[in-house]
Amino acid sequence: MSNLEDNHRVALARELTAAAGVPLRDRYGFASSNEDVLHIVTVVATYPDDDAAVAAIGAANWTGVIEIAEGSDTPTSEEYEHRIVTALRPLIEQRRTAAEKALS
């Protein structure tokens, strides 16, 4: 995957989650790193089941693989993570459909 495509995914993910009221922020209130956002997008793409994606995001956040928070020093709740997955699912499905069309 190209750096340009990664940057595009990050920007779209940030826009979609912010519009859904679940911005991807770190525990200090700043935007999460691009790597963390890409990790979340990858998790949502990897797990077609929303509950599995939520569990994977929660586990990555809990173990320090990524850092996202609801507010200053407030870890994300399962409901917040669900809203993130719901916000990103259309992006993932659109890309999956486009890839399938390109292969056929």
Q: How far is CA 33 from the centre of its chain?
A: 11
Distances from the Cα of 27 to the Cαs of 24, 31, 44, 57, 73, in angstroms? 10, 9, 21, 15, 5
Provide the domain limits for residue 61.
Answer: 3-99
* Residue burial 62-87, b: 16+ Cβ < 10 Å; e: rest: eeeebbbbbeeeeebeeebbbbbbbb
pTM recorded for the entire structure: 0.89
The answer to whether residue 12 sits within a structural domain is yes
The answer to whether residue 104 sits within a structural domain is no
Q: Which of 31-35, 65-69, 70-74 is predicted least confidently?
A: 70-74
Distance CA 66, CA 50 (A): 18
The answer to whether residue 62 sits within a structural domain is yes
The answer to whether residue 57 sits within a structural domain is yes
- Total domains in the chain come to 1
Predicted confidence (pLDDT) at residue 16 exceeds the cutoff of 90: yes
The answer to whether residue 17 sits within a structural domain is yes
The answer to whether residue 26 sits within a structural domain is yes
